[in-house]
Every structure is written in structure tokens, then in C-alpha cells.
Amino acid sequence: MLPYRRPNGVRVLSVLSELNVGESGVLAALDLPESVQNHLMHMGFVPGALVTVLRRAPAGDPTVYGVDGMEIGLRRETAAAILMRPPGTDGMEAVESPGNDEFPVLIEAAR
């Protein structure tokens, strides 16, 4: 395969709850019930939004995230249903090593 070619239909994704304090990601999708999804979208959790992990409670739950100039606390189970991609990517990344420990990876085929 030529170095400038990427496989079509492969995206590198993670979930919001797996990001560490200080890390950022771009929201790719919400996998939540419609009522929760609409509530979060009104607060700025929309696809393409940059989300930063600001701080975590001593017990690890909830976590405060920064999005669109606001600070929003989410429980781990809610954050685990929010798919993220690394910042600075267009969402279509070639995956060279599925075992990459720097950014936990889920591979999703384009529909």
C-alpha cells in the first residue's frame, strides 16, 4: 500500500470516559437515549465539538468536562456512551496498531 493511501471506511474512536485529566478529543457520536442525547446536545456536546477533561472527583466519578466554554459534570456511565476521536484528525484514520496504548482504540466501519 502506498504511504499516502488510507483504507476507506476505518475510523479510530475511543469513549469519553477513557480520556485522562488534561486530554482532549473531538466528539464523534452520542450513543445515548434520545432524551439524554438532546439534553447534552443543547449544552454543546455536538459532533465535532472539542471536549477537554478538566477534573475528576476523588472517587473517580463524576468527571468535569469542558465544552464550548462551559464546564459540565458527567457520570462515568454517560461518558462511556460518548464516542470520541483524537483532535486534529478528520475521523478517517489508518490504524497501524490496534494495540496502541496511548489512545484506546475502537475500530468502526463506515456505514
Q: DSSP strand E in 40-109: where? A: 50-56, 63-67, 70-74, 82-85, 106-109
Bridge partners (DSSP) listed for residue 52? 24, 66
pLDDT of residue 28: 92
Q: What is the mean pLDDT of the chain?
A: 78
Residue 4 pLDDT more than 50? no
pTM above 0.75, yes or no: no
Mean pLDDT of the region 74-101: 72
Domains and CATH numbers, the chain: 10-109 (2.30.30.90)
pLDDT of residue 60: 82
Residue 63 pLDDT more than 60? yes
Q: Amino acid letter at 44?
A: G
pLDDT higher at 89 or 108: 89
Report residue 38 as a C-alpha cell.
438532546
Mean pLDDT of the region 82-104: 61
Residue 46 pLDDT more than 70? yes
Phi, psi for residue 104 in degrees, rounded to 5: -50, 135
Report residue 5 as a C-alpha cell.
493511501
